[in-house]
Structure 1
């Protein structure tokens, strides 16, 4: 097996989670257009908690769930994730210097 640092593995998992959330929102939009079985809103919101980049990107690209008040949480979650990423990066830079 190829050795991979824990940090790169976490980044890869985070990217994959966001891609999966993006696809989930896209699938729900497709089902909305074709009158298919929909994904419950609470599932979409919980997945946005873990993958807000994917959720926000899909909301904008597919124009999906943008008028629902409870989905105003998604940009807030995105800001929290960005703040967390910046905090981790600052801590790592502090450790290096």
Structure 2
């Protein structure tokens, strides 16, 4: 199970990174673009590291503060969910008490 999760995270982060690079190329060519919702969606589903790397390397979407806030929001949400999952796994809290 963990092996498949690792493969998934590698793939989604690569996809997010590539999407930022491809969207930058499209922006420079003044062509049809990848929507911000799709870029944020890749981050939301596990590609946050790839999204941040793509932003930094391709210098894309770095000055658009509304996008930056949304990406930071995705990151904060994921950090909270990860912390809650870690606390539940450690027996500190019970996120789903009715499942016992």
The normalised TM-score by structure 1 is: 0.72
Partners of 1:15 and 1:89 in 2: CA distance? 21
Q: How far off its partner does 1:61 sit? A: 1.1
Partners of 2:82 and 2:56 in 1: CA distance? 22
User: Does 1:66 pair with 2:53?
Assistant: no
The normalised TM-score by structure 2 is: 0.70
Partners of 2:57 and 2:79 in 1: CA distance? 20
Match of residue 43, structure 1, among 17, 32, 38: 38
Where do 5+ consecutive residues of structure 1 fail to align? 1-5
* Aligned CA-pair RMSD: 2.3
1:39-82 deviation line (CA, Å, top 9, x unaligned): 11221122221211111111111111112223222233234435
Q: How many residues end up aligned between the 2 structures?
A: 90
Partners of 1:9 and 1:29 in 2: CA distance? 30
Secondary structure of the structure 1 residue equivalent to 2:34: coil
User: Does 1:14 pair with 2:9?
Assistant: yes
Q: Structure 1 residues 78-87 or 61-70, which shifts more?
A: 78-87
Partners of 2:89 and 2:40 in 1: CA distance? 30
